[in-house]
């Protein structure tokens, strides 16, 4: 269900967190569903269990999942519900977009280049996750 690429420059924990959030946002994981155990997911993805534990802990701090001792880790909220109110969410997204656009501009990419790449990336992600 979760995909990571060891050859990608993005750290594995960030890829895994994004993958879990995407699964929740797209309904592949629903509120109340149990995530794999830390150990099982680490084995499945061939990553260190500490990496998975770090991601679960971050998602728990963000209010997306909760860990019930001796039972497991469960989805308790959509990522956008737990992290920000609507106004704060828009502000945060605008700040991220401004930073991203400025950074890509310093590397010689136009806004059209960025939009084209993101559109292509979105198509690939949608195919990958169904």
CATH code for the domain of 51: 1.10.10.10
As a whole number of angstroms, the distance between CA 104 and CA 57 comes to: 31
Number of domains in the chain: 2
Per-residue model confidence (pLDDT) at position 130: 56
Q: Are residues 89 and 42 in the same domain?
A: no
pLDDT score recorded for residue 44:
96
Residue 7 CA to residue 15 CA, distance in Å, equals 11
Q: What is the pLDDT of residues 78-127, one digit of tens each?
A: 766 555 456 666 776 787 788 788 889 888 999 999 999 998 988 887 77
The answer on 97 and 64 residing in a single domain is no
pTM of the model: 0.62
Tell me the C-alpha distance between 75 and 51, whole Å: 18
CB 84 within 8 A of CB 38: no
Residues 53 and 9 in one domain: yes
Containing domain of residue 28, as a range?
1-78
pLDDT at 89: 64
């Amino acid at each position: 269900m979760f995909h990571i690429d060891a050859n990608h420059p993005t750290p594995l924990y960030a890829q895994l967190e994004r993958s879990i959030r995407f699964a929740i946002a797209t309904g592949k994981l629903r509120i109340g569903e149990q995530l794999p155990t830390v150990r099982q997911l680490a084995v499945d993805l061939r990553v260190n269990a500490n990496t998975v534990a770090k991601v679960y802990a971050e998602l728990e701090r963000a209010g997306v999942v909760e860990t019930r001792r001796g039972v497991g880790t469960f989805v308790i909220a959509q990522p956008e519900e737990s992290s920000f109110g609507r106004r704060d969410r828009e502000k945060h997204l605008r700040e991220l977009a401004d930073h991203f656009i400025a950074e890509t501009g310093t590397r010689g990419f136009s806004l059209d280049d960025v939009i084209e790449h993101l559109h292509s990336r979105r198509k690939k992600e949608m195919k990958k996750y169904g």
